[in-house]
Homo-oligomer: A and B are copies of this chain.
Amino acid sequence: MPDVVIVGAGIAGLTAARELVAAGKDVVVAEARDRVGGRVLNARLPGTEQFVEVGGQWIGPGQDRLRRLLDELGLDTYPTYDTGLKVAELGGRTLRYRGRVPRLNPLVLADIAQAQARLDRAARRVPLESPWLAQGAARTDGQTLATWLRRNVRTATGRAFFRLVTEAVWCADPEEISALWAQFYLHSGGGIDSLINTTGGAQQDRVTGGMQGVATAMAAELGERVVLSAPVTEIRWTDDGARVRAGRRQWRAKQVVVAVPPPLAARLRFEPELPAERAQLLQRMPMGWTIKVNAVYDEPFWRQRGLSGQANSDRRMLGTVFDGGRPDGGPAVLVGFLEARHAQVAARMDAEARREAVLDDLAAYFGPDALRPAHYVERDWAAEEYTRGCYGAFATPMTLTRFGQWLRGPVGPLHWAGTETATRWAGYVDGAVESGRRAAAEILGQVES
């Protein structure tokens, strides 16, 4: 009988397993898919030894838990290509610019700067361990981020800017997200600039061999403790232990770590049923939606023209693009995101039409060479049974205030992990690492729970 069964072999579950094994515990990691890594994945390019990353792929400053894990696993990083001009289409204008912000009309710039300062300031006042204790929490949580922005951003272009930021950060509309969740999340990741910047921000670096290496390296250490193709459906528990069922497989254990996103946790059957508050919480944490696209070219033609490969638009389906290659060789890649309602519209198109629309957008940003990629790889995480959305879950209005305490709080022998349960870099790979470590620490009696 293992000490702990961990449900889900994403970064959170694998990290928890690794920590527990290091402390001498016997663990089983039950994974629904036939692979580890969850929302982190390489995709090999057909007929080559090369790959692109179709899931989480960046690490930035302040992501210290992930950084430490990379060091422990012997994985290197390299900088995201961040040289040359960026392209921004905003408020009817197309701008090419260097640095942090495009040269917009000064009134618009002042409007954006003021609203951003206000939002970041409010965010810093939200306690990361207990956002529901923020001053005025109920009032902030009782409105959507859209309502907050409507009150605090005055210019149309300013509003378009924050809508674009919302789509890029949460893959959802500002109308869907609680303003308190948004503030918590911004604080959790160090503020708006920290989240959206490349150098100096969350997109600063990449992992050599791909972020997937974090998962595969941990899984290699864990060996046969990781059981693939074992979708857990039922957990029977008492205060003394649990039985975890996945098809015909079943494990008994003293404790369990559930390390899957909220909408998947909601699908598990618990016997006895979990407290209603936890069920109500999980009904109120939907996932964002992004389709990630990698277009691979023979040459990084945009670099040759002095472009960074970074682009954003408030009027194109492909609203966010980065250079997805190494600065110093390897495949030339543009990596783009169809976010929120753009993902929804794109998912309704047939694959060929979607590809064309994406390449047309890339061509508008970077020139007609974009129309002829050598490889085109897309991934719709919302369509996958064992993910159901991306990047992560967010909280709808009033959810944190009413039910937030149930996000991390253990129930009997049951512990909860996953990036959505993190206090720092919630929604990022780093948050997944934090959550796995914290769940392990709970089990090892190292934190009060």
Task: Tell me the A residues contacting B by CB distance below 8 Å.
Answer: 138, 141-144, 146-147, 173-176, 233, 263, 266-267, 269, 273, 275-277, 279-280, 283-287, 289, 341, 344, 347, 380, 382-385, 388-389, 396-399, 401-402
Contact = CB atoms under 8 A, between A and B. Distances in A.
Given A143-B144, A146-B143, A341-B402, A396 B266 contact: no
Contact of A385 (B143, B147, B273, B398): B273
B344 A382 contact: no
Given A147-B142, A279-B382, A283-B389, A398 B173 contact: yes
A277 B343 CA distance: 10
Copies, count: 2
Contacts of A384: 273
A176 B399 contact: yes
Contacts of A380: 276
A286 B280 contact: yes
A115 to B, nearest CB: 17
A443 to B, nearest CB: 25
A275 B277 CA distance: 29
Given A142-B173, A144-B142, A273-B383, A397 B398 contact: no
A277 B347 contact: yes
Contact of A144 (B144, B283, B385, B389): B144
Given A266-B263, A267-B267, A382 B280 contact: yes
Contact of A280 (B138, B141, B280, B287): B287
A283 B287 contact: yes
Nearest to A380: B276
A162 to B, nearest CB: 13
Contacts of A174: 142
